[in-house]
Structure 1
């Protein structure tokens, strides 16, 4: 086992551009957070900063650290990686209320010459509003999730590094849209929660459960890549697949159902308060 672990670490190399991009994003957010904290200290406390920077760190761990190399060998680790990208990183980033700090943290020339003209474009504004609609965000995330887990697409991504990066971007981008509808980070327009938000979360868990169940009860390895490529850990591909499916099933369900329960409690409390 130690030899296998050493082999994976030897194969891993630091992704310089990813690391620098995430570090640069963190600096931009910190700069904007310090600026807006002067006028909104209660709204932008240390927890907001920790949440956003923590999200960047977790994102690097998922796709920049040796974990990504382990994911190329073990399906179970790959499922953990996907779970982090789709259900851990997006809520952390969004709970940092990133929109205004990132805009405030940019150099003035970038805001004036690039961001402002883009935001003023009616086409861009309509596209953003359309993408942030709950129905669009739900279908975007879940269809992306299912499409990339089709065996041919899954194997293709593992065999082509650039497409593997595209897969990660698809997971992260669509999941940010999905969780945006849950978190509604300021300055998003806030509105009273309806029971529809529970359908939004629970139905996403159903999709996760169906895929997890298929992988768990399938009587053969679903992904050819893990059969044809050497497994230095000596783990049976089918056993690894079952473990990955269980991880995705259990932890993925927690990611959807815990927020659903919290929102339910808040909605019931609000209903009781209104009756009183």
Structure 2
């Protein structure tokens, strides 16, 4: 009989009191936290909000593996759904908000920076971080996990489960890294495009939720073999998990949309200030009265030709310059 079959009923109290020791997860999280802290202290003025976001991502990762979620992930379908949602969306989003790649790039030795830049600006990196590829990295992983035999393998084999969890975090990080654009990215997706794609990705979450809700039982033999005498029956358990993936994905997407809108407004404000500064610098001050003489300054001087507003806008002047 497996350890998952021997677990006591999951009560409201055990949601908060059930823990397990996961040495690999704790070690990796502690190493990441220490490395980030050292790198951030080496950059005076590093925003505290970024450090808080990165730390929160590590905390959520630990909770996903060591709290009741990590203890009951092989026993209840809906608990595994919570875990996968945290690993694919919540943890990567918080880590990406911490801008870890900026700190990592700053720590690259001088002689290795050309190689770093070549990798970052390679064709493969641009394709991987493009709008289409990033969308696939968010939508496809859970479909592959739940709609193939891989899901049952994660329940039976801890190594496979750990590898899949790591892959979910990696896919989610690439997605949020390229969408948020706090760290430099090989391919830049404009924020308005990100907003449209995010809405489309929410539809993908709904499709998976509906398939799991109305479709056949996933890993039915495994769950029936547990002979669990408490909690929801396997069908109800899968329906609950489908709701977690569907509704939970949309709930997580809402703060992400809020962050994207905020970043978009900041970028637009920066562009407006830069444009105003360029226009102010391009203005020529009018000469003082009586300091010049000649036909151009006399009362009969020809008026200066009128100019359209966009001819003085540096973002539009090149686009609409008259052709000769």
The residue that corresponds to 2:237 in the other structure is: 240
The reply to whether residue 214 of structure 1 matches residue 211 of structure 2 is: yes
Partners in 2 of 1:256 and 1:151 — Cα distance? 25
Partners in 2 of 1:205 and 1:251 — Cα distance? 10
The residue that corresponds to 1:250 in the other structure is: 247
The residue that corresponds to 1:50 in the other structure is: 52
The reply to whether residue 23 of structure 1 matches residue 30 of structure 2 is: yes
- Cα deviations by residue, 1:174-226 (Å, 9 ceiling, x for unpaired): 111111122112334796835422232112111110111122234x5333222
Q: Which runs of 5+ in 2 are unaligned?
A: 1-6, 273-324
> For the Cα contact (< 8 Å) 1:157–1:167, is it kept in 2?
yes
Work out the number of aligned pairs and report it. 261
TM-score (normalised: structure 2): 0.69
The residue that corresponds to 2:9 in the other structure is: 4
CA deviation after TM superposition for structure 1 residue 127, in Å = 3.0
* Distance of aligned partners of 1:180 and 1:73 in 2 relative to their CA distance in 1, 3 Å threshold: same
User: Which range moved further: 258-267 or 138-147?
Assistant: 258-267
The reply to whether residue 32 of structure 1 matches residue 28 of structure 2 is: no
Partners in 2 of 1:190 and 1:125 — Cα distance? 10
Which has the bigger relative contact order, CA under 8 A and spacing at least 6? 1
* Distance of aligned partners of 1:194 and 1:24 in 2 relative to their CA distance in 1, 3 Å threshold: closer
Paired residue secondary structure (2:42): helix
> For the Cα contact (< 8 Å) 1:74–1:231, is it kept in 2?
no
TM-score (normalised: structure 1): 0.80
- Cα deviations by residue, 1:39-93 (Å, 9 ceiling, x for unpaired): xx2xx22221111011111111112444212111111111111111111111111
> For the Cα contact (< 8 Å) 2:50–2:99, is it kept in 1?
yes
> For the Cα contact (< 8 Å) 1:157–1:164, is it kept in 2?
yes
The residue that corresponds to 1:170 in the other structure is: 167
CA deviation after TM superposition for structure 1 residue 24, in Å = 0.8
Paired residue secondary structure (1:4): coil
Q: Larger % of helix: which?
A: 1
Partners in 2 of 1:161 and 1:259 — Cα distance? 31
- Cα deviations by residue, 1:95-146 (Å, 9 ceiling, x for unpaired): 1111122455x6xxxx449965752655984433332112111113322221
Matches within 5 A, 1:142-157: 142-157=139-154
* Distance of aligned partners of 1:26 and 1:207 in 2 relative to their CA distance in 1, 3 Å threshold: same
Q: Which runs of 5+ in 1 are unaligned?
A: none
CA deviation after TM superposition for structure 1 residue 12, in Å = 6.9
> For the Cα contact (< 8 Å) 1:216–1:245, is it kept in 2?
yes
* Distance of aligned partners of 1:235 and 1:114 in 2 relative to their CA distance in 1, 3 Å threshold: farther
CA deviation after TM superposition for structure 1 residue 25, in Å = 0.9
* Distance of aligned partners of 1:68 and 1:120 in 2 relative to their CA distance in 1, 3 Å threshold: same
Counterpart of 1:129 (choices 126, 131, 141) is 126
The residue that corresponds to 1:223 in the other structure is: 219
> For the Cα contact (< 8 Å) 1:204–1:256, is it kept in 2?
no
> For the Cα contact (< 8 Å) 2:19–2:66, is it kept in 1?
no
- Cα deviations by residue, 1:142-185 (Å, 9 ceiling, x for unpaired): 22221111152211221122111121122111111111122112
* Distance of aligned partners of 1:241 and 1:129 in 2 relative to their CA distance in 1, 3 Å threshold: same
Partners in 2 of 1:94 and 1:189 — Cα distance? 15
Larger-gyration structure (1/2): 2
